[in-house]
Structure 1
Amino acid sequence: MPIINITAYSLAFLLIIFSHNLRAEASEYQIELIAFAQTMPDTEVFDQTESQIKWPAALTELAELKHSERGVLDGGYAAISKVPAYRPVLHIAWIQSIGENNPGAPVHIKSEDGQLNGYLQIQRGKTLQLLVDLEYTPGQRDSSVNSFYSEPVIYRLNQKQPIQLNEIYYLDHPKFGVIATIKRL
């Protein structure tokens, strides 16, 4: 009978140690993001009029995650707001738990007006990777106009970027941009 008690205690001890190691593998990160439209002249032709995002099966809504105080990119947001060629679309920050050697949950990113829509995902392995798949639609469909231009053009930014913690990254598209930073909490 004492052997069973020792085994039960040993098993309980191993489970406590094992569960502690599992918790140690997941880290919390603060992700902060600014998205902005830019009206710089360019010569590229865009003809995408339907979404081409390949939505992940398990998409996490931003409202489900703990919101965080913005701060690191506040100065950048203020600077962008003052330049007529740029128009801020979204400035958000949240806290997300990401396990080691796992992709974090893809987070649905959508502006209040619906013009920016897509997702962001952090992948944590030997290096951190930032995966962004966003579409920006700067106009609404006008059904009263029956012409080629009545279909809104969709601009897509689909990029996977290796990142370092506490660095600021700029992801560029001729029509909109994203500035992001990630720090471990």
Structure 2
Amino acid sequence: MMKNKKNAFRVVWFVLLIWRTSFASAEDRFQVELIVFAQDMATTELFDQTRSEIQWPSQVVEVSALAQAATEQKSLSHVYATLSRSSTYQPIAHYAWIQVINEDSAGDAVRIQDAANVLDGFFQLERGDFLTVTLDLEYQPDPERFFRMSEARRIKFNEEHYFDHPKFGAILKVKMKDER
């Protein structure tokens, strides 16, 4: 009787161990959507940055190398359209991509760069106890001036998050991507 209980315990322990291992290595797909826009808000802040100060990670993936979200899957298109009609804001870029990120790890840093070369930087999403995003972007409206926005913060799925700088801003939304 004691031997059967020991064997049953070992089987249960083994099954739990395998289940935990597969759970810990689970990959999930995320849809990341990011809009970056210029703005010229009144400020008393002095900006004297004359060269790039981005703190680049060791490896960066081009956004074009990732699976792009279909136009009909973009949920911030209405925001982009509103910004486009505004005299205060000028949209610079609108990206939407699919990214695989393992549980309890950081995803690939994704380079964010526009076609006109006024925007450069990266986005990185990290999964842990919380979902954390790092955004390090520079807006260079002319060759002599750089404006940097660098921030790491916890975010929630399916919420719009606003990143602010007097000269430019970003709106971000991250959601789980269905396997279907």
Q: Post-superposition shift, 1:24? A: 5.7
Q: Post-superposition shift, 1:22? A: 6.4
Counterpart Cα distance in 2 of 1:129 and 1:75: 25
Given the alignment of the two structures, is residue 133 of structure 1 paired with residue 125 of structure 2, yes or no? no
Counterpart Cα distance in 2 of 1:122 and 1:72: 19
Q: Post-superposition shift, 1:25? A: 1.4
Counterpart Cα distance in 2 of 1:170 and 1:133: 14
Contact 2:39 2:166 (C-alpha < 8 Å) held by counterparts: yes
Of the structure 1 ranges 109-118 and 67-76, higher mean CA displacement relative to structure 2 is found in: 67-76
Counterpart Cα distance in 1 of 2:23 and 2:100: 12
Given the alignment of the two structures, is residue 100 of structure 1 paired with residue 103 of structure 2, yes or no? yes
1:109 maps to 112
Given the alignment of the two structures, is residue 79 of structure 1 paired with residue 79 of structure 2, yes or no? no
2:149 maps to 157
What residue ranges of structure 2 are gaps of 5+ in the alignment?
A: 1-14
Match of 1:182 among 167, 174, 177: 174
SS in 1 for 2:145: coil
Give the aligned CA root-mean-square deviation in angstroms. 1.7
AA aligned opposite 1:108: R
1:30 maps to 31
AA aligned opposite 2:92: V
Contact 2:24 2:103 (C-alpha < 8 Å) held by counterparts: no
Counterpart Cα distance in 1 of 2:28 and 2:154: 18
Task: Give the structure with the larger strand fraction.
Answer: 2
Contact 2:54 2:136 (C-alpha < 8 Å) held by counterparts: yes
Q: Post-superposition shift, 1:43? A: 1.4
Given the alignment of the two structures, is residue 172 of structure 1 paired with residue 147 of structure 2, yes or no? no
Q: Normalised by the size of structure 1, how large is the TM-score? A: 0.81
What residue ranges of structure 1 are gaps of 5+ in the alignment?
A: 1-13, 142-151
AA aligned opposite 1:79: T
Q: Post-superposition shift, 1:175? A: 0.3
Distance 1:125 1:178, change over 3 A: same
Of the structure 1 ranges 167-176 and 58-67, higher mean CA displacement relative to structure 2 is found in: 58-67
Distance 1:30 1:22, change over 3 A: same
Counterpart Cα distance in 1 of 2:36 and 2:45: 20
Q: Post-superposition shift, 1:61? A: 1.0
Percent of residue pairs identical: 39
Q: Post-superposition shift, 1:172? A: 0.2
Q: Post-superposition shift, 1:69? A: 2.2
Counterpart Cα distance in 1 of 2:83 and 2:64: 26
Counterpart Cα distance in 2 of 1:117 and 1:131: 14
1:8 maps to none
AA aligned opposite 1:110: Q
